[in-house]
Amino acid sequence: MKQKKSIGLVIGLLVVCIIAVCAFFKAFDMYRNTHRKLDDILTLSSAPKQEPAVSEAAESTLKLYVNNEPVTLTLDGSGAEYDCFTLHTDFENTITTEDSSHTVMVNGEELKDGSYSLALDEISRTNKITVSVDGEEYYLRTLPEDFPELTALGESSMDGYFYTTLGNFVVKFDKKGQVAFYRRANATNAGPFRRNEIDGEVIYSYLEGRSSDEHVFLTGTGYRTTALVMLNEQYQKVDEVPYMVESEKIPANFPLENHDYLILGKDHYILTTYLGKKVTNISESVEGSDYGANVVACIFQEVKDGEVIFEWDSTDHPELYEASLEAGDYDNTVKFWADYAHFNSIVIDPKDNNFVCSYRNLDSIIKIDRETGEILWYLGGKNDDFGLTEEQQFHRQHNATFTEDGSLLLFDNGCLTNILGYPELSAEEKAEGESKQYSRGIKITIDEEKKEVTDFKEYTVDGFYSSSMGSAQILDDSTDTILLGWGGKSKVGMPLFSEVNSSEKKINLEILCADSDINCYRVTYYDK
């Protein structure tokens, strides 16, 4: 019995020893790990402090502002060239940066307080601005790489400037046809680009192309959705009108269209739009439309201080459906939208303050009462009130304006071939129309009370024809000098616009473009 107790005691002592040994090693391991962590902490605290990592992208770019518009230089090697958003030769351009981490010089001079003023004598493909960043040289093109290739022939007899839209730019040309100002503006076939004087203040304006995802775009119709953009005298953007004003006729956030607008004062505009409508007020005597038709409503608003004070809708005047000469397809077999009227210009008659509008597909200039909306008269087309002779008749005209003597001046496209596909012409009819087509400027003096033409004059350039767009402006009555914008040119080699001295049968100035897809929707001369 004693022997068994001795054996149990020995076993117990062994177990205790084993437990003690295990506890010792566990305690030693904890001690060692603790000191290892302390060593790590001491090592980290004594090591030099690491700066936060900076991305390569942040170190490799420099943002400049040229006339308040950003240009980002990628600093990955000297010699790279960059485009500017806008430049001019009228006065000094500004180049600024908020980045103080680089030494920046422009044309050999360091920016003072991050700013530099630069006068340009020439905007051209060969003239570039040198920007040195930390000793590496980069270049700003004075004319963007995608600016249309132009050639100027001759010189204007006038000392002012020509304003127009070309490709994605609004442009101002001097008397030699050289670029005096440009701004990237998404303005293809949108316009016009104007110089306005409002309450003694100069405001530049143009229509800029904008997408219209919120509303149905009228496919197959010759228009663009736009917004009205305004610049101050230094060509800096100061305001825009992105939408028509919501009304019983116009839904919310509805875009302007591209043909015309007027700025009458501060927050006082004439705005125009195209709206797709299903109408049922077409006379039974008009072919088609037994169950109604999808048509393009031409609508304009007079807006003052954000309120509509006048609104006019072509579909409120059903007599216009029958007056259509092109695209009046009320069965909607050729196009989903019948663009039966196609508005393209508006002006206010200074004699009586009423509206005068041009409607291409009616071959008509229409006067509209500014208070009642009543149509006061038609000049040209099926409803002509003035008995135009064959020589005086015009076809698919654009840009109706008033001259200083109160006459009407317009660009007569002379289009006789129904380029919009309706009504369809036979091969013989098309050939006959093509043989007679030519474009011209025409000046018509009318007696509104007697409804007769009292004077008529045409301005032509042999062989020139434009089926769409275009403009006319008399520059000098004494020499019959006229500015003709050729719109949708019919052939390669036609100029964008021409200044023509009709008295001497001489072309003073022409601007030609190597890209046949670039058109001049409208060109306007100003003396500044």
User: Percent of the chain at pLDDT above 90?
Assistant: 83
471 or 492: which leads in pLDDT: 471
Give the per-residue pLDDT at 490. 81
Query: Residue 456 carries which side chain, given as an amino acid letter?
Result: F
Give the per-residue pLDDT at 346. 98
> Averaged over 131-145, what is the pLDDT?
97
Give per-residue pLDDT as tens, 355-367.
999 999 999 999 9
Give per-residue pLDDT as tens, 47-63.
444 444 444 444 589 99
Give per-residue pLDDT as tens, 284-335.
999 887 889 999 999 999 999 999 999 999 999 999 999 999 999 999 999 9
Q: How many whole angstroms separate alpha carbon 357 and alpha carbon 401?
A: 9
Give the per-residue pLDDT at 188. 86
Q: How many whole angstroms separate alpha carbon 31 and alpha carbon 306?
A: 80
19 or 335: which leads in pLDDT: 335
Non-local (6+) Cβ contacts of 133 within 8 A are: 62, 73, 75, 102, 103, 104
Give per-residue pLDDT as tens, 68-114.
999 999 998 789 999 999 999 999 999 999 999 999 999 999 998 99
Asked whether residue 30 carries a pLDDT value surpassing 60, the answer given is no
Q: Is 279 exposed, middle or buried (0-12, 13-18, 19+ CB in 10 A)?
A: middle
Least confident of 4-8, 174-178, 261-265, 487-491: 4-8
Beta strand 115-118 pairing with 128-133: unpaired
Supply the DSSP symbol for 21. H
User: Percent of the chain at pLDDT above 70?
Assistant: 89
Asked whether residue 20 carries a pLDDT value surpassing 70, the answer given is no
Non-local (6+) Cβ contacts of 277 within 8 A are: 294, 295, 296, 297, 315
Give the per-residue pLDDT at 59. 58
Q: Is 96 exposed, middle or buried (0-12, 13-18, 19+ CB in 10 A)?
A: middle
